[in-house]
Amino acid sequence: MTITRFAPSPTGLLHVGNIRTALHNWLLARKAGGRFLLRIDDTDAERSEERFVEAIRDDLAWLGLEPDAAERQSERLVHYEAAFDRLKASGRVYPAYETAQELELKRKIRLGRGLPPIYDRGALELSDADRAAKEAEGIAPHWRFKLDHAEPIEWIDGIRGPQHFEAAQLSDPVVRRADGSWLYMLPSAIDDIEMGVTDVLRGEDHVSNTAVQIQMFTALGAQPPRFAHEALLVGAEGKLSKRLGSLGCDAFRERGIEPEAIVALLARLGTSLPVEPIADRAVLIETFDLAAFGRAPARFDEAELERLNAAIVHQLDYAEVADRLPTGMGEEAWLAIRPNLAHVGEAADWWQVVTGPVEVPELTEEDRAYVAEAAEALTWGEDPWHSLTGALKAATGRKGKALFQPLRLALTGRPSGPEMAALLPLIGEQEARARLVRAAG
C-alpha cells in the first residue's frame, strides 16, 4: 500500500508552499488508494506551539485534505532513543564537542583552502581520554551521524530522475543537540520506517537531506522509501518571494478564496497539465502524475488564483454556499447573482440591490420620461423583464443600450450586474414599480 506523509513543524502557520506539499502527498496517496499521514514535527519544544498544531489541523480540514492518521513526534521520543542506541552500538553516531564558533572557524579555513565547507570529522580523532576530559569540563556533546564514505548514495528520483552523491562530499549531520533534543533528519527517517511510509514527496531543497537519510535507512536495516523532489514555488515575477511565506489559509479566507480554487491551482502548478477551475477532486486525483512535473520553478500567480476562484464560484451549488449567504437569499437569487461574483461574500452586495433601498440614479430628462413610461407599462407574469422591454421597444422605438440601460439604472442603481430577466422577479412587482417611479422623478 502506498503511504505518504506531511510532516510540518508547528512553529508557525502553513504557507502556500506547505499547502502544495501536503496536497501533492494527499493526491499521490489517493490516486494509489493508499493512506495519507499527518506527522507533527514538534520535537523542538521551545519553538513548537499548540495553537499552530490546531491551526495546521484546521487548515488541512478546510482544504479537504483530511489525513487517514495523525502522529506527534513529541509522543515518540522513546522510539528515537531506541534507534539512537542501536546506531551508537554500531558506531554510526558519534559525540562531537565543537562550539558553533569553532565550527564556523573550521568552515572558513576549509573555504580558504579551496575545500568544500563540510565538517572535518575532528571529533573522530578524539581518544576516550579526550572525550572524558571534555565532559569533565562540563562540555556536553552533540551527536553526528557517521556517513559511510564507501557506500554509494544513489536513487531514482520520481521527478529529478537518477541521483548520485558522494558521501565524502557531505557533512556528517548533527542528529542530536547537546541538550538531548533531536534535529529533523533522524527522527524523520525512524518515523518513515516505523509508519511504513513508502513515498516521500517534498521540495527540491531537501535533496541533500535525502542523500544523508538514505544512509540512515540502511544503517537502521530498512529499505528507503521512494523519493521525489519538486521544484520550489516562486512569485509571479519569477523570483523567490517573501510574500509566499506569508500566504496561508487565513490570508486566503480573508480574501474570500475558496479552498477548491487553491487546490485546483496548486494541484497542477509546476506540471505540464493545464491549470483549470476543477472543483471535482476525483478529476485532480485521476490526472495527478509525477511524470508531469517539470524541473523549472513553479510560478504562483495571485491573479491566476483570483481568476480560478471566480470560475469555481460560478460552479458552486446553492447547498454548498447557503450557510454563507444573507438571510432570506434563496436558491433562485443565488443562481441569478452567481455569474457576477468573484467571491461568495460579494453576494451580500447584490442581495442588498434586490432588497433595497437603491440609490436613485441621475437620468436625463428624456430617460426620466422613458422610465415613467416603463412604470406604467410594467406587467407581471412569467417573464416580466422581456414583457416590459418588448412593450417599450414597440412603443418607443428604442433598442440596445438605450432600451435597457435606463431601466437597469432605475431598478438597481448600477450600470451593470446580473441578468435583469433573473433579477427583476426577485425585486418583485411592487418594489420594481416604486423604483421606476422614484427614478422618473
Residue 226 backbone dihedrals phi, psi, to 5 degrees: -75, 135
Whether 70 contacts 40, CB under 8 Å: yes
Judge contact between 69 and 38, C-beta under 8 A: yes
Contact partners, residue 31, CB within 8 Å, separation at least 6 = 285, 286, 288
Query: Which residues are registered as beta bridge partners of 365?
Result: none
Is residue 32 classed as helix, strand or coil in its secondary structure? coil
Q: Is 108 annotated as a binding residue?
A: no
In DSSP terms, which residues pair with 229 in a beta bridge? 202
Report which DSSP code applies to 245. Answer: G
Dist. CA 317–CA 315, nearest whole Å? 6
Angle between helices 420-427 and 384-396 (to 10 degrees): 110
Closest C-alpha among 304, 377, 314 to residue 344? 314
Task: Tell me which amino acid residue 93 is.
Answer: V
DSSP 204: G
Place of cell 521544484: 231
Name the binding residues.
242
Name the binding residues for ATP.
242
